[in-house]
């Protein structure tokens, strides 16, 4: 019997799961769904546009989608066009790889003012995610505040601070590049409620703030501890030591006259976003880190800014039938229920780089394989044939991988100024290339 599988979400964790399924079940058939016509999720919509080389991983995933056993069905949203129940009935196993595409909230006054954006939305906007195409963020003042001291916060600060020339070989979308370049930016503030040791930066990404064309990184040397304190060991400790060295270097740097300053502000927790009809500033409270936790001191200060971008983590938004537990789909080592599994950020939360998903997805597929190999489990559900009938009865316009390649060619053809391509940012534009 040929086993039939479906993967919901064609981002990195889903594509690593497809590779693992093919290894364990060489004759299987896999249908990969994505709600956007184009695949690769975080690679297209999350990775910073100026980290273009990181997107090369998509080539490996494209080879998987070209295999005979794998079928790509873009533009199909599970929960809207098909239900989880229908997938469970028709495939031997369902792997949810829907990521964590919702911004966590700060839960402070003023958070709903125009000018406050979650990183998922803001990054999605400059990366051309159709859901955020019309975000039109308020970038009309000289200051912006970014909350969080992880790699996403670094990405956002860097993309706002770079010159047009520095973005030439990026794949940032034209509408966002124009808006960012029109911003009269002078000060980009990155606020961390804890200190440099607790920051989630990786040294390579932090090091990129060293020599930006128009932007100087401003670090208060007094906030950098002499050594990594706390219970960190091995590789993690090494990363933190490297971060501290880079921050010390930045603090000691002779600041050339650059027009933009990127302020690293540690020990500052947001308490209120200020403004009447829109964001005018942010109020923060000084903290101290005690036993690894941020403890408020009662001392506050205000910083003017035209927008606040929160980069404080994400949570998954599963379709009906799959319970959420905190930020993730409720699961045990990736097993959700009978024949449903979850991988990636929807399984373990928003952590790790793209390659982190490789072993994680393989482990879940090994668990799935053990489950299917149990004596009482019957393999041989109808898979794609039954699902095709449902999709066509509902008049759903699916997008195949061959069609994705046509969309990509059209995006390459309309690229300007050295950019590798100019993404379509609306689903209707993508479909117009095909129909
Ligand atoms: P992260 O490293 O966990 O950073 C989240 C930040 O938000 C932390 O500094 C956290 O502070 C802060 N935060 C959370 N709640 C807060 C609150 N209520 N008030 C103030 N601050 C708050 O995660 P991320 O930056 O979102 O990145 C997600 C994952 O993607 C990470 O594993 C990251 O390394 C990865 N990533 C990698 C790259 C790359 O390799 N180039 C690029 C982007 C992202 P606390 O620590 O105090 O909670």
Q: Are residues 117 and 264 in the same domain?
A: yes
Look at residue 256 in the predicted model and tell me its pLDDT. Answer: 80
The model's pTM is 0.97
Helix ranges restricted to H, 114-233: 119-126, 151-161, 174-182, 203-207
Helix ranges restricted to H, 184-232: 203-207
Q: How far is the CA of 148 from the centre of ligand 1 (A)?
A: 6
302-332, pLDDT tens digit by residue?
Answer: 999 999 999 999 999 999 999 999 999 999 9
Look at residue 375 in the predicted model and tell me its pLDDT. Answer: 82
> CATH number of the domain that 190 lies in?
3.50.50.60
In a mutational test of the pocket of ligand 1, which residue from 145, 193, 327 has the highest number of ligand atoms less than 8 Å from its CB? 193
Q: Are residues 297 and 338 in the same domain?
A: no
Half-sphere exposure at residue 108, Cβ-oriented, CA atoms within 13 angstroms: 15
Calpha distance 225→288 (Å, rounded): 13
Atom 18 (ligand 1) nearest CA: 106
| Ligand 1 pocket, Cβ-based, cut-off 6 angstroms | 51, 106, 147-153, 155, 192-194, 198, 200, 202, 205, 269-270, 294, 311-313, 350-353
Task: Dig out the tokens for 423 from the structure.
Answer: 């993404």
Q: How far is the CA of 245 from the centre of ligand 1 (A)?
A: 20
Q: Are residues 278 and 334 in the same domain?
A: no
217-275, pLDDT tens digit by residue?
Answer: 999 999 999 999 888 899 999 999 999 999 999 999 988 889 999 999 999 999 999 99
* Chosen domain end from 310, 327, 361: 310
* Chosen domain end from 310, 325, 353: 310
Q: Are residues 243 and 322 in the same domain?
A: no
Q: What percent of the chain has pLDDT over 70?
A: 100
Would you say 58 and 42 are in contact if contact means Cβ atoms under 8 Å apart? no
Look at residue 254 in the predicted model and tell me its pLDDT. Answer: 82
In a mutational test of the pocket of ligand 1, which residue from 150, 193, 345 has the highest number of ligand atoms less than 8 Å from its CB? 150
87-126, pLDDT tens digit by residue?
Answer: 999 999 999 999 999 999 999 999 999 999 999 999 999 9
Q: How far is the CA of 143 from the centre of ligand 1 (A)?
A: 21
Q: Are residues 260 and 129 in the same domain?
A: yes
121-141, pLDDT tens digit by residue?
Answer: 999 999 999 999 999 999 999
Atom 8 (ligand 1) nearest CA: 148
Q: Are residues 198 and 323 in the same domain?
A: no
Q: How far is the CA of 155 from the centre of ligand 1 (A)?
A: 11
Q: Are residues 124 and 242 in the same domain?
A: yes
Would you say 80 and 87 are in contact if contact means Cβ atoms under 8 Å apart? no
Place of tokens 């939305």: 121
> CATH number of the domain that 23 lies in?
3.40.50.720
Q: How far is the CA of 150 from the centre of ligand 1 (A)?
A: 4
- Nearest atom, ligand 1, residue 48 CA: 42
* Chosen domain end from 251, 277, 310: 310
Whose CA is closest to 97, among 30, 41, 151? 41
Q: Within its chain, how far is the Cα of 332 from the centroid? A: 23
Total structural domains in the chain? 2
Q: Are residues 260 and 404 in the same domain?
A: no
Place of tokens 């970014």: 146
Atom 5 (ligand 1) nearest CA: 312
Q: Transcribe 265-284 into DSSP letters.
A: E-SEEEEEEE-SSS--EEEE
- Nearest atom, ligand 1, residue 205 CA: 41
Q: Are residues 129 and 255 in the same domain?
A: yes
Calpha distance 323→325 (Å, rounded): 6
Q: Are residues 198 and 86 in the same domain?
A: no
- Nearest atom, ligand 1, residue 152 CA: 25
Calpha distance 46→49 (Å, rounded): 8
**pLDDT beyond 90 at 8:** yes
**Domain limits at 304?**
105-310
Would you say 11 and 99 are in contact if contact means Cβ atoms under 8 Å apart? yes
Q: Are residues 126 and 211 in the same domain?
A: yes
Q: Are residues 97 and 111 in the same domain?
A: no
């Amino acid at each position: 019997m040929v086993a039939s599988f479906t993967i919901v979400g064609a981002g990195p964790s889903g594509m690593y799961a497809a590779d693992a399924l093919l290894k364990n079940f060489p004759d299987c058939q896999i249908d990969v769904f994505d709600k956007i016509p184009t695949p690769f999720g975080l690679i297209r919509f999350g990775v910073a546009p100026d980290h273009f080389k990181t997107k090369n991983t998509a080539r490996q995933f494209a080879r998987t989608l070209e295999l005979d056993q794998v079928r790509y069905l873009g533009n199909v949203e599970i929960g809207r066009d098909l239900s989880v129940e229908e997938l469970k009935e028709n495939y031997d196993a369902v792997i949810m790889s829907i990521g964590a595409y919702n911004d966590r909230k700060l839960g402070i006054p003023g958070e709903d003012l125009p000018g406050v954006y979650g990183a998922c939305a803001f990054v999605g906007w400059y990366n051309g995610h159709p859901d955020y195409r019309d975000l039109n963020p308020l970038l009309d003042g000289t200051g912006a505040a970014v909350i969080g001291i992880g790699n996403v916060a670094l990405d956002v600060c860097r993309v706002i601070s770079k010159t047009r020339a520095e973005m030439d070989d990026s794949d940032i979308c034209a509408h966002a590049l124009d808006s960012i370049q029109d911003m009269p930016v002078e000060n980009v503030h990155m606020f961390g409620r804890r200190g440099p040791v607790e920051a989630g930066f990786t040294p390579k990404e932090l090091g990129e703030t060293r020599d930006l064309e128009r932007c100087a990184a401003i670090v208060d040397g007094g906030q950098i501890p002499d050594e990594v304190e706390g219970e960190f060991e091995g590789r993690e400790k090494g990363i933190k030591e490297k971060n501290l060295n880079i921050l010390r270097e930045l603090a000691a740097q002779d600041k050339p006259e650059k027009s933009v300053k990127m302020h690293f502000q540690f020990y500052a927790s947001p308490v209120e976003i200020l403004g009447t009809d829109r964001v005018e500033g942010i109020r923060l409270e000084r903290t101290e880190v005690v036993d690894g936790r941020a403890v408020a001191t009662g001392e506050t200060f205000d910083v003017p800014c035209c927008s606040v971008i929160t980069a404080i983590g994400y949570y998954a938004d599963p379709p009906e039938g799959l319970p959420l537990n905190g930020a993730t789909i409720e699961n045990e080592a990736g097993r959700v229920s009978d024949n449903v599994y979850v991988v990636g950020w929807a399984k373990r939360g928003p952590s790790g780089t793209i390659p982190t998903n490789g072993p994680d997805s393989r482990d879940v597929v090994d668990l799935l394989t053990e489950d299917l190999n149990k004596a009482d489990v019957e393999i041989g559900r109808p898979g794609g044939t039954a699902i095709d009938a449902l999709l066509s009865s509902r008049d759903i316009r699916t997008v195949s991988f061959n069609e994705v390649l046509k969309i990509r060619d059209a995006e390459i053809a309309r690229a300007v100024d050295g950019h590798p391509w100019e993404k379509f940012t609306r689903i209707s534009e993508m479909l117009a290339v095909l129909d």
